[in-house]
Chains A and B, each alone.
Chain A
Amino acid sequence: GIQVEQSPPDLILQEGANSTLRCNFSDSVNNLQWFHQNPWGQLINLFYIPSGTKQNGRLSATTVATERYSLLYISSSQTTDSGVYFCAVGVYSGAGSYQLTFGKGTKLSVIP
């Protein structure tokens, strides 16, 4: 099956700093999503971005599907950004099946 690798696995930032999280995937995909799992365990949708660039406040994401990677940018980080960031790729099998395959995540800690 498709492999999804995220880097770095852990990241510690001073409040106000910027960061870039990377997601590499091993094959062509139909869909890519970024999620934030907050300290309470809830999964928050950040971006649905099969290709191109999107921005939402201090967050932005870019997916280059032809090169099989996506980047998540966090600017002016805040302590509330702490948690685990997951990249997930979706593949439609054509046989009616569809599922997301998740990376292992990047654990972000923002310290005051």
Chain B
Amino acid sequence: NAGVMQNPRHLVRRRGQEARLRCSPMKGHSHVYWYRQLPEEGLKFMVYLQKENIIDESGMPKERFSAEFPKEGPSILRIQQVVRGDSAAYFCASSPLTPLGTTLNEQFFGPGTRLTVL
């Protein structure tokens, strides 16, 4: 059973360009979370998605950032008009749906995408 997959592993963008980060959850997992790790800081929650639904985006910056988890295909975190402060490691995690319909389950993390903005 493959783990959470993220690509690309490393992404370099110039200021003003767009960055697209992809995440494929573990097989059988229907919940996806995105976290950001800025240099010398811990990980911070950004957004929680289920298929075709954004459940909680309270950790997302209000501008330039968006996320989706379509019915088919991976989850995408999109950053428009990147700035140097967006340089960070972006981690995706997934968890399964419990029989009771809650999400109080262990989250499994992908290897991360390291974004560098020049």
Q: Which residues of chain A have a CB within 8 Å of any CB of chain B? A: 30-31, 33, 35, 41-43, 45, 48, 86, 88, 90, 92-93, 96-105
Q: Which 10 pairs across A and B sit closest by C-beta, in order of nearness?
A: A97-B56, A48-B106, A43-B109, A99-B45, A102-B42, A102-B43, A98-B103, A104-B42, A30-B104, A42-B111
Task: Say if the beta carbon of B107 comes within 8 Å of chain A.
Answer: yes
Chain A residues with CB below 8 A from B35, complex form: 100, 102
Establish whether residues A100 and B107, one from each chain, have CB atoms under 8 Å apart when the complex forms: yes
In the assembled complex, the CB of A97 is this many whole angstroms from the nearest CB of chain B, namely: 4
Interface members, chain B 79-94 (any A CB < 8 Å): 89, 91, 93
Query: A99 and B104 in contact (CB under 8 A), knowing A41-B89, A41-B114, A86-B42?
Result: no
Establish whether residues A92 and B104, one from each chain, have CB atoms under 8 Å apart when the complex forms: yes
Expressed in whole angstroms, the Cα–Cα distance for A92 and B100 within the complex equals 14
Query: A99 and B42 in contact (CB under 8 A), knowing A41-B112, A90-B104, A92-B104?
Result: no
In the assembled complex, the CB of A106 is this many whole angstroms from the nearest CB of chain B, namely: 11
Chain A residues with CB below 8 A from B45, complex form: 99-101
Chain B residues with CB below 8 A from A30, complex form: 104
Task: Say if the beta carbon of B69 comes within 8 Å of chain A.
Answer: no
Give B46's nearest chain A residue, CB to CB.
A99
21 pairs of residues in contact across A and B, judged by CB atoms under 8 Å: A30-B104, A31-B106, A33-B107, A41-B114, A43-B109, A45-B109, A48-B106, A86-B42, A86-B43, A92-B104, A96-B55, A96-B56, A97-B56, A98-B103, A98-B104, A99-B59, A100-B45, A102-B43, A102-B44, A104-B41, A105-B42
